[in-house]
């Protein structure tokens, strides 16, 4: 699909966002091995969480999807999964592949996980290595999917310090710990998103500037009713678009506001954005609230170090904010971006240069000079949802027309994205 956007000066109104992708994966997965029925309201139509649902169905979990997108999952308990008849297709979803691998590592049957071309090029040694330390038998193809997980002969807990800040790796190990003898401890120096530990109510302690999270075989798995909050990472595109173009205000109800995800609010506020939070509440263990954003004059800032994991998915759209800010916006310590759905540093730099931006590429980030006028051009999503959406917002702020190739990538996390853009440009 090819999508064009034109220079816009109107961006206002109210819109509902898709439910949070990270939370949806976990809600479905944890419900699948609980003992009891879970009802998940507002489950997203996005391709990634749908990949998780179809893998769970292949593992014999009864799942009913109602027309209003309520998902009812009949948990099969820790030992109720069925050996799948064919490889589990995780599509484009790293979270599906890495989290389900943690669950399958301890199962009494063999399984195989596959993905699309992008997922098959992403590093999987980062989960295979700790799972092997726990006693799992795992084969990779040169460090990548397909992942073959051999029938478990029993796992044992490990004490593991994460070499990189990654919620997917952290969650994978903690999940395997639910099938392992003894205690599994994951230690992280730099916090990453904490949905797994919150939603499973895992024990957490802090010492020597590290956070230690524990799981074990007898840890109870919660189930019940859960309304999924809106995706903060989807809100990010609307927050930046409204800040840099249009009139505002834009009102975003029921957005997930887990502090391990909302680093972009701190970043945008430091850049001078006008964003307010209203009606704060909690759904299950996840905080949420409404966001109201108005247009503002932004200024460039430097972001690095411990701030990065909290904004890791928002960096392409921060680059766009930087293009419309005074001064320079610099990102460092974000090498992980090169291992996402595409090399997001390369994709961001290549595309923004095509639109006329002055941007310098570093191995671990970039520096973009703000307020250099952008002009419409053809850019490529690199088959990456966040690149497609970030470039659409850049196109709205550029003069003339911009065309985004392979724009359907957006449906991985935000299938309603193109309609939402149109709605907010028309609204008054
Ligand atoms: C995710 C964790 C992050 C993030 C991804 C979703 C998750 O990846 O980029 O979009 O749901 O755990 P890493 O954990 O690899 O940093």
CA distance 169 to 65: 29
The residue whose two tokens read 């029938």 is: 151
48 lines ligand 1 (CB under 6 A): no
How many angstroms does the Cα of residue 128 sit away from the middle of ligand 1? 17
Q: Using the CB atoms, write b or e for 35-52: b if 16+ within 10 Å.
A: eeebbbebbbebbbbbbb
CA distance 159 to 334: 26
How many angstroms does the Cα of residue 95 sit away from the middle of ligand 1? 6
pLDDT above 70: residue 310: yes
How many angstroms does the Cα of residue 166 sit away from the middle of ligand 1? 6
**Active site positions, annotated:** 313
Q: In sequence order, what are the residues at sequence separation of 6 or more whose Cβ sits closer than 8 angstroms to the Cβ of residue 141?
A: none
Per-residue pLDDT, 246: 77
Query: With contact defined as beta carbons under 8 Å apart, do 252 and 293 qualify?
Result: yes
pLDDT tens, 254-307?
999 999 999 999 999 999 999 999 999 999 999 999 999 999 999 999 999 999
| Whole-structure pTM value | 0.98
Residue range 81-108: mean pLDDT, rounded:
98
Give the pairing of strands 302-303 and 328-331: parallel
Query: What angle do the packed helices 417-426 and 232-244 form, to 10 degrees?
Result: 30
Neighbour tally for 67: CB within 10 Å: 5
331 lines ligand 1 (CB under 6 A): no
Q: In the predicted model, what is the mean pLDDT of the chain?
A: 97
CA distance 367 to 105: 41
Query: With contact defined as beta carbons under 8 Å apart, do 240 and 320 qualify?
Result: yes
Residue 269 vs residues 275, 290, 293: alpha-carbon distances, Å? 7, 16, 11
pLDDT tens, 177-228?
999 999 999 999 999 999 999 999 999 999 988 999 999 999 999 999 999 9
167 lines ligand 1 (CB under 6 A): yes
Length of the chain: 428
């Amino acid at each position: 699909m090819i999508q064009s956007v034109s220079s816009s000066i109107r961006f206002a109104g109210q819109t509902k966002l898709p439910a949070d992708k990270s939370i949806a994966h976990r809600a479905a997965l944890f419900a699948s091995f609980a003992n009891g029925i879970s009802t998940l309201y507002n489950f997203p139509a996005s391709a990634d969480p749908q990949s998780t649902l179809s893998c769970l169905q292949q593992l014999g979990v009864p799942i009913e999807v109602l027309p209003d997108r309520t998902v009812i999952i009949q948990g099969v308990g820790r030992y109720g999964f069925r050996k799948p008849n064919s490889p589990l297709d995780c599509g484009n979803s790293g979270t599906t592949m890495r989290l389900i691998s943690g669950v399958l590592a301890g199962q009494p049957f063999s399984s195989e996980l596959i993905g699309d071309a992008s997922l098959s090029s992403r590093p999987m040694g980062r989960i295979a290595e700790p799972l092997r330390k726990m006693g799992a038998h795992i084969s990779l193809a040169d460090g990548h999917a397909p992942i073959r997980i051999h029938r478990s002969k029993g796992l044992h807990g490990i004490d593991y310090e994460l070499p990189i800040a990654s919620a997917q790796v952290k969650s994978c190990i903690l999940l395997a710990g639910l099938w392992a003898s003894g205690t599994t401890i994951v230690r992280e120096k730099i916090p990453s998103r904490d949905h797994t530990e919150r939603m499973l109510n895992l024990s957490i302690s802090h010492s020597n500037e590290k956070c230690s999270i524990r799981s074990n075989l007898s840890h109870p798995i919660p189930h019940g009713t859960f309304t999924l909050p809106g995706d903060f990472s989807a809100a990010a595109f609307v927050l930046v678009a409204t800040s840099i173009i249009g009139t505002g205000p834009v009102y975003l109800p029921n957005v997930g506001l887990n502090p391990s995800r909302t680093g972009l609010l701190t970043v945008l506020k430091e850049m001078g954005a006008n964003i307010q939070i209203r009606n704060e509440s909690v759904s299950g263990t996840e905080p949420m609230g409404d966001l109201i954003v108005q247009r503002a004059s932004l200024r460039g800032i430097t972001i690095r170090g411990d701030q990065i994991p909290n904004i890791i998915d928002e960096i392409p759209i921060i680059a766009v904010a930087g293009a419309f800010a005074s001064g320079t916006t610099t990102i460092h310590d974000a090498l992980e971006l090169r291992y996402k759905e595409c090399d997001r540093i390369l994709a961001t730099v290549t595309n923004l240069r095509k639109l006329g931006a002055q941007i310098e590429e570093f191995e671990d980030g970039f520096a973009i000079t703000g307020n250099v006028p952008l002009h419409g051009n053809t850019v490529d999503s690199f088959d990456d949802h966040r690149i497609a959406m970030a470039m659409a917002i850049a196109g709205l702020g550029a003069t003339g027309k911009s065309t985004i190739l392979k724009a359907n990538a957006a449906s991985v996390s935000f299938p309603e994205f193109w309609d939402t853009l149109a709605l907010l440009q028309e609204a008054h």
